[in-house]
Structure 1
Amino acid sequence: MSCFPGIPSLRAAARCVLVAMAGAGAFTLAAAEAAEPIKIGIIAPMSGPNARYGAFANKGAALAAKEINDAGGLLGRKLELVSGDSQCVPAEGVAATQRMISLDKTPIIIGDVCSSVTLAMEPLVEESKVLLVNAASSNPDITYKAGVGGFKWTFRNYPTDEVRAATVLEYAVKTKGFKKFAVLSVDSDYGRGAIKFTKRYLPKYEGAEILSEDYYKDSETDFRSVLSKIRRSGAQAIILYGQADTTPIIARQMLELGLAGKVALVGNGEFNTKETIAAAPKVMNGAVEAAAWLPEVPAPRSLKFVEDYKKAYGGEMPNNHAYTHYDTLQLVAQAIRSAKSAKGEDVRNALAAIKYDSPMGVVTFDDHNQAVQPMVLLEIVDGKPVIKGTITTKVDYGAAAK
């Protein structure tokens, strides 16, 4: 058949019309798809006791979406966020994920703040071939199960509890010169997990040892007997992974027992808050913790984020979850640009190979789809939190098998 003029065939002409109509239809469909916004889901607790974290997460993501859309969008399309409430409950998080997949048709989801929810989401997104990029959960199991661990559709742009423990230990030994440690951590999966990972990395440092190991219940308020034992042990530092409301109590009792200036605190227990420092400034002096991000980070783009966030939300100071969701959406946007596609599989492949220049430093992903990224080291100096730099720690997956 020829579709060129001058060929006197009605049958050929009819066929040409059909081909032209089909081509026009395909073009119209492609144009319609191109005009549709790119949907990205945000699943976080928007109700219940953890709702404040979800509010920060959504605000951070919304700020990133506005910046992206104001700059022309992605691939000539606007970015549209779809929000889902997990309530920090696994069943609710799975239900919200299912609605996004089935009803909203979102090819990419960012979530959840709570590790238990993220762990429950992993099998569902794997089965549905929807890309999940986590921005705030710290349970190491998420990473061990992802990438070569099995769930190829899950990525995480957030440090794990294992990374935090290894980072704090490295700074405590190499920079502070501590070798003798005592453990006093909350009796929970988080507290015990952090110590498990500390022990995993401890053999890297010759002479480093744990002299005593104790855990406390959430309801405990008297730590004098344990602190007295620690004082007698000769420990240079207490490894503390605990609750924010308990740290000031421990600090005051350390002051009572004469441990101020003799035994330091290292770990994570919101050492940098005004309330904690004010409880016992002499004890908190020299306390060390690691964080994914802090508003005081002096990097220009990080400081700009803080100012833009405050301007957008009536002077409110962003927290860690606001930043990590802002940053993760920017990361996903770069992957979409690199892939020249918003399809989940294309973006997944782009993420695996990405070298993302975040406000905190360069981010890449290992073969478990875990971000290799800097963590901020914070030390209390003369009653004020001072950023001492960053450390990038890679997960030692081989150590877990030993």
Structure 2
Amino acid sequence: MRAFKVFGLLMVVVMVLSACAPAAAPAAGGAAAGGEIKIAILAPLSGPVPTFGLSTKEGATLAVKEWNDKGGVLGKKIVAIVEDSQCTPDPAVNAANKVINQDKVKYIVGEVCSKASIPVSEIANEKKVVQISGTSTNPSVVRDAAGKVKPFTFVACFNDDTQGKVIAKFAKENIKAKTAFIMLDQANDYVKGLAEYFEKYFTADGGTIVGKETYTSKDTDFSTVLAKIAEAKPDVVVLPDYYNIVNLVTKQAKEKGITAPFIGGDGWDSPDLDPKAADGGFFTNHYSPTEDREKVKTFVKNYGEAYKNDKGEPKTPDALAALAYDATNILIEAISKAGEDDATKVADTIAKGKFEAVSGSITFDEFHTPIKPVTVIAVKDGKVTFNSQVMP
């Protein structure tokens, strides 16, 4: 009997001590220790447009850091796996296969360029991996060959149909253009698609295409095409390419005395755009860092605190950074709303959700593409400034 009494007394002591013991401290940032969720960021850190990749990396990783500072998602730390996809199909495919097969990711932010995002989307949908690109505007990124939506792929930007429509509308209504000359790289899905949509809407509204000439991404001398432009005397020259080509073409155009304004798409947006060469031009874009909206002001402030230029000054985020930030936030918020780390449920949550983003309030249409106003940027007096917002 005595042994049982001693045992009972010990049990009472243990229970009292357990009740008085402090609770286990929560994990740093409020998140429980629950493993990690990997997100791949595919960006062109080398190749023809490295500023696109740097901006994308910075915008996406800033979003990841902010979520982790608040405790991660679903009680788990978010781990960003960054791969250089070069804005080119083969390197992008290699990067996608690597992060899916080796790193076992279920979520991809990227790629940046449409020609790279399209083949990545084929892999992502086959493997049932959620992909959201901040900046790939070609409709084929989210639609298959039959025109059906790809269930696991989304974009945080307007598409080239919308962008081409706005470029045509701005050319007609703001530049008062009746004639246009189109320059394009037929091998670039983004450039080709945007040129086709511009032509469709410009001619439907009574405009005339007085010339159309092609070039390759490796060309550096555009004198033959520019001679035809000088002869045609168009009211506007449409150059829907990336900033590296825009810099070369517009500089040579000025040297040849061509005064018609050049106009293009969001591919112009880069810290490396030459504002002197492109002076007098316009391009469509997804946001302006000077917009007086709290979401924009907070993002610009936080980005500038996180990243500095070569002079140690706060960097101003371009549209690539803003859209990568938006795409990453949409993805992580969807994981949180879905309530579990399940790619199928996350994709469904994105498709049906509403998200407050830097580039605007976003809901997705049936093709996983946001519908929102398009910003037009002017290049004037050595500066890149907000011009207007145009509804499609």
Q: Please tell me the root mean square deviation across aligned C-alpha atoms, in Å.
A: 3.1
Cα offset, 1:109, TM superposition: 1.3
Cα distance change, pair 310–239 in 1 and its aligned pair in 2 (3 A):
same
Deviation by residue 1:89-123 (Cα, 9 ceiling, x = unmatched) = 43443333233333433221112123333222222
Find the counterpart in structure 2 of residue 7 from structure 1.
Answer: none
Cα distance change, pair 215–121 in 1 and its aligned pair in 2 (3 A):
closer
Quote the Cα distance in structure 1 between the aligned partners of 2:56 and 2:271. 20
Quote the Cα distance in structure 2 between the aligned partners of 1:91 and 1:384. 36
Quote the Cα distance in structure 2 between the aligned partners of 1:153 and 1:146. 15
Quote the Cα distance in structure 2 between the aligned partners of 1:213 and 1:240. 11
What are the residue-to-residue correspondences of 1:30-109 with 2, within 5 Å?
A: 35-109=34-108
Cα offset, 1:63, TM superposition: 0.8
Cα distance change, pair 272–65 in 1 and its aligned pair in 2 (3 A):
closer
Quote the Cα distance in structure 2 between the aligned partners of 1:247 and 1:101. 39
Contact conserved, 2:39 with 2:80, CA < 8 A, in 1?
Answer: yes
Contact conserved, 1:290 with 1:378, CA < 8 A, in 2?
Answer: yes
Deviation by residue 1:153-177 (Cα, 9 ceiling, x = unmatched) = 1111223333322221122223343
> Which range moves more in the overlay, 356-365 or 45-54?
45-54
Contact conserved, 1:272 with 1:384, CA < 8 A, in 2?
Answer: no
Q: Residue 65 of structure 2: SS of its match in structure 1?
A: helix
Q: 1:85 is aligned with what amino acid?
A: D
Find the counterpart in structure 1 of residue 246 from structure 2.
Answer: 244
Q: Residue 169 of structure 2: SS of its match in structure 1?
A: helix
Cα distance change, pair 296–215 in 1 and its aligned pair in 2 (3 A):
farther
Find the counterpart in structure 1 of residue 358 from structure 2.
Answer: 359
Deviation by residue 1:277-334 (Cα, 9 ceiling, x = unmatched) = 4348xxx33x321012343444332233222222212334433322221111111122
Q: 1:194 is aligned with what amino acid?
A: L
Tell me the matched-pair count: 349
- Aligned with 1:307 (options 301, 312, 315): 301
Cα distance change, pair 212–84 in 1 and its aligned pair in 2 (3 A):
closer
> Which range moves more in the overlay, 266-275 or 120-129?
266-275
Find the counterpart in structure 2 of residue 22 from structure 1.
Answer: none
Cα offset, 1:271, TM superposition: 8.6
Cα distance change, pair 115–216 in 1 and its aligned pair in 2 (3 A):
closer
What are the residue-to-residue correspondences of 1:269-308 with 2, within 5 Å?
A: 270=268, 276-279=274-277, 284-285=279-280, 287-308=281-302
**What percent of counterpart residues are identical?**
26
What are the residue-to-residue correspondences of 1:1-400 with 2, within 5 Å?
A: 35-145=34-144, 149=148, 151-186=150-185, 188-189=187-188, 190-205=190-205, 207-216=206-215, 218-222=219-223, 225-231=227-233, 235-242=234-241, 243-253=245-255, 256=257, 260=259, 263-268=260-265, 270=268, 276-279=274-277, 284-285=279-280, 287-314=281-308, 315-381=314-380, 384-393=383-392
Q: 2:375 is aligned with what amino acid?
A: V
Q: Residue 135 of structure 2: SS of its match in structure 1?
A: coil
Q: Residue 214 of structure 2: SS of its match in structure 1?
A: strand
Deviation by residue 1:190-230 (Cα, 9 ceiling, x = unmatched) = 4443221112223542x322233333452324255323322
Cα offset, 1:352, TM superposition: 0.8
Contact conserved, 1:42 with 1:58, CA < 8 A, in 2?
Answer: yes
Find the counterpart in structure 1 of residue 21 from structure 2.
Answer: none
Quote the Cα distance in structure 2 between the aligned partners of 1:119 and 1:274. 26
* Structure 1: segments with no counterpart, 5+ residues: 1-31, 394-402
Cα distance change, pair 132–392 in 1 and its aligned pair in 2 (3 A):
farther
What is the TM-score normalised by the length of structure 1?
0.75
Q: 1:220 is aligned with what amino acid?
A: D
Contact conserved, 2:44 with 2:87, CA < 8 A, in 1?
Answer: yes
What is the TM-score normalised by the length of structure 2?
0.77
Find the counterpart in structure 1 of residue 27 from structure 2.
Answer: none
Cα distance change, pair 87–277 in 1 and its aligned pair in 2 (3 A):
closer
Contact conserved, 1:355 with 1:362, CA < 8 A, in 2?
Answer: yes
Contact conserved, 1:372 with 1:392, CA < 8 A, in 2?
Answer: no
Cα offset, 1:355, TM superposition: 1.8
Q: Residue 356 of structure 1: SS of its match in structure 2?
A: strand
* Structure 2: segments with no counterpart, 5+ residues: 1-30, 309-313
